[in-house]
């Protein structure tokens, strides 16, 4: 576990962040110093530059420094030091006057709830799903159902597809809501379409994800949806071999299959984190589940125009506008 309080501003590009941090001895405490009262700390489960999830957390922290004029600090590789390191890091930041402490993992929940009791004037957040304590501990999440509905509708509106496969990750609340909305869209636009679902049970079990994709292909699917995050590229590669039309929730995969991905659903984690920090800075943190979506630009739906026929493209764009304006409730069965 390394504590890395930032000496240099994080307003530079992500690569500059990595170079600056690598140049510093891990044992030397440094931090960004701002003439501001707002101090924000982040706890990362793995190395700050180890994967997309942690990198996006760092990007969000950098935006907090730049856009909210905050003093920031972070500790990464928390998981390497569990169980002792997380409570120690929480205590240290709270005692040093950091008013908003972000845990960039749902696995930090229990220790952060306990810290919220010990430090009632400090605000705590996890980037995950949780109802919070209605005081100072809450969660930052997103309305995954909005993208589930749009991606489901995209496949449903392709008349040649008769058997859809959905390969999904963990049964967390956001994923369950994605799946429910996805199925609602299929029922509305293609009620006779067959749907087969396989659960990987993880966001990063590539061998199992590949095996389940092959299983779906063997069952005769002719269209595929996925919401498996770091598993997605491996799934896409298998689907490319079979020339399957796809929709994808997670990091942008369009370059992997430019002619087969019909639409993508992106989650902008840095924007999500920034929204939470704004609430805390303005004194509006209420210790509950905060959900953000298309209207807040935390979620983004990208139809691949050249891969869709004009009729379906028009209807999908109209659905997007209805959801974003609140005129369409995607979790209601029709």
Specify the pLDDT at position 11.
Answer: 38
pLDDT digits (tens, 9 = 90+) for 216-268: 999 999 999 999 988 999 999 999 999 999 999 998 999 999 999 999 999 99
Specify the pLDDT at position 39.
Answer: 98
Specify the pLDDT at position 81.
Answer: 79
Residue with tokens 């304590």: 133
pLDDT digits (tens, 9 = 90+) for 47-76: 999 888 899 999 999 999 999 999 999 999
In the predicted model, what is the mean pLDDT of residues 199-215?
Answer: 95
In the predicted model, what is the mean pLDDT of residues 17-32?
Answer: 36
Q: What are phi and psi of 160, to 5 degrees?
A: -80, -15
Name the 3-class secondary structure at 288.
coil
Specify the pLDDT at position 50.
Answer: 87
CA dihedral sign, ordered 175, 267, 323, 248:
negative
Specify the pLDDT at position 2.
Answer: 59
In the predicted model, what is the mean pLDDT of residues 21-47?
Answer: 63
Tell me the pTM: 0.86
**pLDDT band, very low/low/confident/very high, at 84 (cuts 50, 70, 90):** low
Specify the pLDDT at position 28.
Answer: 31
Chain centroid, CA 115 distance in Å: 24
pLDDT digits (tens, 9 = 90+) for 104-143: 999 999 999 999 999 999 999 999 999 999 999 999 999 9
Chain centroid, CA 34 distance in Å: 29
Specify the pLDDT at position 5.
Answer: 62
Domains, the chain, ranges and CATH? 2-128 (3.40.50.2300), 144-266+299-324 (3.40.50.2300)
pLDDT digits (tens, 9 = 90+) for 146-166: 999 999 999 999 999 999 999
- The answer to whether the beta carbons of residues 149 and 319 sit under 8 Å apart is yes
CA distance 219 to 248: 20
């Amino acid at each position: 576990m390394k504590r890395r309080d930032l000496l240099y501003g994080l307003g530079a590009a992500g690569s500059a962040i990595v170079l600056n941090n690598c140049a510093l001895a891990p044992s030397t405490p440094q931090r960004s110093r701002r003439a501001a009262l707002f101090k924000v700390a982040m706890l990362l489960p793995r190395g700050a530059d180890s994967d997309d999830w942690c990198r996006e957390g760092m990007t969000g922290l950098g935006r907090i420094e730049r856009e909210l004029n905050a003093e920031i600090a972070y500790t990464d590789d928390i998981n390497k030091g569990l169980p002792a390191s997380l409570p120690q890091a929480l205590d240290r930041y709270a005692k040093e006057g950091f008013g908003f402490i972000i845990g960039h993992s749902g696995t930090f929940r229990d220790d952060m709830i306990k810290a919220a009791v010990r430090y009632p004037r400090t605000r705590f957040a996890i980037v995950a799903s949780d109802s919070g304590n209605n005081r100072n501990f809450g969660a930052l999440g997103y309305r995954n159902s909005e993208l589930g509905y749009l991606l489901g509708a995209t496949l449903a509106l392709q008349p040649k597809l008769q058997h859809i496969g959905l390969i999904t990750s963990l049964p967390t609340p956001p994923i369950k809501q994605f799946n429910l909305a996805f199925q609602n869209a299929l029922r509305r636009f293609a009620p006779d379409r067959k749907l087969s679902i396989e659960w990987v049970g993880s966001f990063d079990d590539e061998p199992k994800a590949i095996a389940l994709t092959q299983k779906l292909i063997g069952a005769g699917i002719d269209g595929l949806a996925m919401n498996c995050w770091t598993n997605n590229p491996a799934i896409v590669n298998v689907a490319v071999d079979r020339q399957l039309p796809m929709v994808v929730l997670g990091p942008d995969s369009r370059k992997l299959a430019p002619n087969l991905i019909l639409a993508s659903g992106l989650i902008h984690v840095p924007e999500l984190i920034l929204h939470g920090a704004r609430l805390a800075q303005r004194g509006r943190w209420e210790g509950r589940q905060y959900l953000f979506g298309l209207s807040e630009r935390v979620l983004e739906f990208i139809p691949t125009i050249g891969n869709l026929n004009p009729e379906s493209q028009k209807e999908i764009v109209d659905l997007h506008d209805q959801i974003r304006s609140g005129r369409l409730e995607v979790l209601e069965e029709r």
